[in-house]
Amino acid sequence: MKYLAKWQNEKKPFKQIWIEAYKRAWEFQQASAILDKHSTTKTYGSTPYVVCGAFSLEVYLKCLFMIDKGKEPKWEHDLVTLFTELSPDTQTDIQAHFGDLVKGLPGEFPEDLDTILEMIRDAFKDWRYRYDGRGKTAQFVGVEIVIKAVQKTIWAKEPGLENWLRPDYA
């Protein structure tokens, strides 16, 4: 994500880059939630809801990659690829948080993270062009739970980051 520092035409400390990534992921997460409430398509989600949700997860995964590996991630949208680029321990942590979050959910919900990631892996690319027939509609289930599992993993690695909205958080 070298474009962040270049785009702002200043050299930023590496930690500041991933903190900014975290903030942008959170903003897209909030946008997705708002769009979901106002969607006219209730069966599978509106395109803006899906695109913002998928992009939020992508940026959270990239943020976690930067925390995990200490370097910038690849320019990539594929959620499975971004997940597999994380360290095995980090993947295990996300899977554990995911398992805790899905325990006891009602209905038929995929209980393994790999299935959900596979279903939503290209949602950002696939859903952006649905309006003109170039994109495709894929299932988009469980992204909120995956996002929460990734967030919990980030917070475990960087205690206090969940409080970034506080004015005293640097």
The pTM (predicted TM-score) of the whole model is 0.82
**Has residue 167 been placed in a domain?**
no
Residue 69: pLDDT band by 50, 70, 90 thresholds?
A: very high
**Has residue 2 been placed in a domain?**
no
Q: Angle formed by the axes of helices 14-37 and 143-157, to 10°?
A: 150
Residue 140: pLDDT band by 50, 70, 90 thresholds?
A: low
Q: If you average pLDDT over residues 75-80, what whole number do you get?
A: 89
Is pLDDT above 50 for 103? yes
**Has residue 96 been placed in a domain?**
yes
Task: Please report, as a single letter, which amino acid is at residue 42.
Answer: K
Q: Which DSSP string corresponds to 2-17?
A: THHHHHTTS---HHHH
Each residue's pLDDT tens digit, 116-129 = 888 888 777 777 66
**Is residue 124 within a helix (H) or strand (E), and if so which, with residue range?**
helix 123-128
Q: What is the pLDDT of residue 168?
A: 46
Cβ 163 vs Cβ 169: under 8 Å = yes
Q: If you average pLDDT over residues 20-36, what whole number do you get?
A: 88
**Has residue 170 been placed in a domain?**
no
- 127 Cβ partners below 8 Å, 6+ apart? 47, 50, 51, 54, 135, 137, 138, 140
CATH number for 151: 1.20.120.330
**Average of per-residue pLDDT values in the chain:** 80
Domain of residue 46 covers 12-158
**Has residue 130 been placed in a domain?**
yes
**Has residue 75 been placed in a domain?**
yes
Q: Quote the CA–CA distance of 58 and 31 in Å, as a whole number.
A: 14
Per the structure, the count of domains in the chain is 1
Q: Quote the CA–CA distance of 160 and 155 in Å, as a whole number.
A: 7
